[in-house]
Amino acid sequence: MKLKVINIDGNKVSDIEISDKIFSLSPNKYMIQSLIDWQLNHFKPRTAKTKQRGDIKGSTAKIYAQKGTGGARHSSRKAPIFVGGGVAHGPKGAVYKIKKINKKVKKMGLFQLLSQKHKIKLLHVVEDFKKEIKKTKIFYQFLEKNNLKDLLIISDKNSKTNIIKSVRNIPNLKIIEEEGANVYDLLKYKNVVFTTTSIKTLQSRLEKWKNLIYWTQ
Report the DSSP pairing between strands 173-177 and 151-155.
parallel
- pLDDT, tens digit (0-9, with 9 covering 90-100), for 107-127: 888 889 999 999 999 999 999
Please name the residue ranges forming H helices in the chain: 29-43, 103-119, 136-145, 157-167, 183-188, 196-207, 212-215
Report the DSSP pairing between strands 123-126 and 173-177.
unpaired
Query: Could you tell me the residue range of the domain that residue 123 belongs to?
Result: 2-44+98-215
Same domain, 102 and 81: no
Same domain, 39 and 56: no
Can you list the positions of beta strands (E) in 12-65?
12-17
Q: Would the pLDDT of 209 be above 70? A: no
Read off the CATH number of the domain in which 160 is found: 3.40.1370.10
Same domain, 37 and 77: no
- pLDDT, tens digit (0-9, with 9 covering 90-100), for 1-45: 788 899 888 888 888 888 877 788 888 899 999 899 888 877 777
Same domain, 109 and 145: yes
Rg value, the chain, Cα: 27
How many structural domains does the chain have?
2
Q: Which of these, 190, 137, 143, 125, lies nearest to 165 by C-alpha position?
A: 137
Q: Determine the Cα–Cα distance for residues 63 and 65; give it in Å rounded to an integer.
A: 7
DSSP lists the bridge partners of residue 96 as none
Q: Determine the Cα–Cα distance for residues 63 and 70; give it in Å rounded to an integer.
A: 14
What is the overall mean pLDDT for the chain? Answer: 86
Same domain, 184 and 87: no
Same domain, 151 and 186: yes
Same domain, 29 and 123: yes
